[in-house]
């Protein structure tokens, strides 16, 4: 108490000055627009910086927790990959996997070369024998079927385009299930024809044509195109003009279809035809 009094006695002038000056500056800031706004801006700035620092410190202190969470997430993702993606690379695993009974396996490929204006059009893809591509495999895109692999080298494969008059694909009408032989018209890259549909089948324009799955090249249900025109041919069958769902002019990403059970199917079929 004594020392406090002495302190006050000694510094009362300075303290009084600070008091008065504080009062004056308070008046200044309260009554003058410009000083007020700059004062507010200044304090807001300091506040912002302070919060910035505290957030940084908080983040630093939480690093351990964050690390743990990231590790857990990492493990989950790794497990997910091991479960879902790693196994697909190993095709043998899938064949003996009776739980999934997977019949088709897809290889992603990119179109390197493509022609549409010739009578016999071919496509070159960037995946070959090394990626597991073999002749007679189907090629599809996200829009519909593309063609069938004809020859493979180590890293490339040549595909008979659907726009090739040599290629016939087994296709069916999605509505009724009647199937026929699909081939290219040979003229326009946008149209093909579906033959051998019985006369009595009720077909209308716009019906969807899909693969039948009989040839063991394509899975069942891959889109081929849509019925554009219906014509009677030879008195017993219809010939349908089909607009292709795949746009061959801007083909880029395709999938090569590997039928894992093809050998088995072929073997069984051959056994009976041989008899």
Partner 1 sequence: MINYLPRYILTFVILVLVQVLLMNNVQLGGYLNPYIYVLFILSLPFETPKWGLLVLGFILGLTIDLFSHTVGMHTSACIFMAFLRPMVLRALEPRDGYEPETYPSVRDYGLGWYFRYSGILIIAHHLFLFYIEIFKLSDFFQTLSRALLSGAFSLVFILFIKVFIKK
Task: Give helix then strand counts, H and E, for the chain.
Answer: 6, 12
Please report how close the Cβ of residue 32 comes to partner 1 at its closest, in angstroms.
7
Of 16 and 268, CB closest to partner 1: 16
Q: State the nearest-atom distance from the C-beta of 13 to partner 1, in Å.
A: 5
CA-to-CA dists, residue 222 to 135, 145, 171, angstroms: 19, 7, 9
d(CA 200, CA 82): 52
For residues 6 and 78, which CB has a smaller minimum distance to partner 1 in the complex? 6
In the complex, least distance from residue 23 CB atom to partner 1, rounded to whole angstroms: 8
**Which is nearer to partner 1, 12 or 71 (by Cβ)?**
12
The region that residue 221 occupies, defined by phi over 0 for left and psi between -120 and 50 for alpha, beta otherwise, is left
Comparing CB distances to partner 1, the nearer of 35 and 62 is 35
What residues line the site for partner 1 (CB under 8 A)? Answer: 12-14, 16-17, 20-21, 23-32, 34-35, 38-39
Give least dist CB 21 to partner 1, A. Answer: 5
| Total residues found in the chain within this entry | 275
Among residues 142, 154, 151, 104, the alpha carbon closest in space to that of 123 is found at 151
Q: Which helix (H) or strand (E) holds 51?
A: helix 33-61
């Amino acid at each position: 108490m004594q020392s406090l009094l002495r302190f006050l006695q000694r510094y009362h002038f300075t303290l009084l000055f600070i008091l008065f000056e504080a009062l004056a500056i308070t008046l200044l800031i309260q009554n003058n627009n410009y000083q007020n706004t700059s004062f507010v801006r200044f304090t807001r700035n300091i506040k912002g910086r302070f919060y910035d620092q505290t957030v940084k410190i908080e983040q630093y202190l939480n690093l351990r927790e964050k690390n743990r969470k990231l590790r857990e997430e990492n493990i989950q993702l790794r497990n997910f990959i091991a479960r879902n993606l790693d196994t697909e690379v190993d095709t043998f695993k899938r064949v003996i996997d009776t739980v999934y009974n997977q019949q088709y396996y897809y290889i992603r490929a990119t179109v390197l070369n493509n022609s549409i204006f010739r009578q016999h059009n071919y496509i070159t893809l960037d995946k070959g024998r090394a990626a597991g591509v073999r002749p007679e495999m189907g090629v599809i895109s996200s829009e519909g079927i593309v063609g069938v692999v004809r020859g493979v080298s180590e890293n490339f494969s040549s595909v008979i385009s659907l726009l090739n008059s040599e290629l016939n694909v087994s296709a069916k009408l999605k509505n009724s299930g009647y199937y026929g032989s699909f081939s290219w018209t040979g003229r326009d890259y946008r149209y093909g024809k579906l033959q051998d549909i019985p006369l009595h089948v009720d077909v209308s324009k716009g019906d969807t044509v899909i693969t039948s799955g009989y040839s063991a090249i394509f899975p069942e249900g891959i889109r081929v195109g849509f019925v554009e025109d219906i014509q009677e041919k030879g008195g017993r069958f219809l010939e349908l003009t089909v607009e292709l769902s795949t746009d061959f002019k801007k083909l880029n990403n395709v999938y090569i279809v590997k039928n894992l059970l093809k050998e088995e199917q072929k073997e069984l079929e051959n056994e009976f035809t041989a008899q």
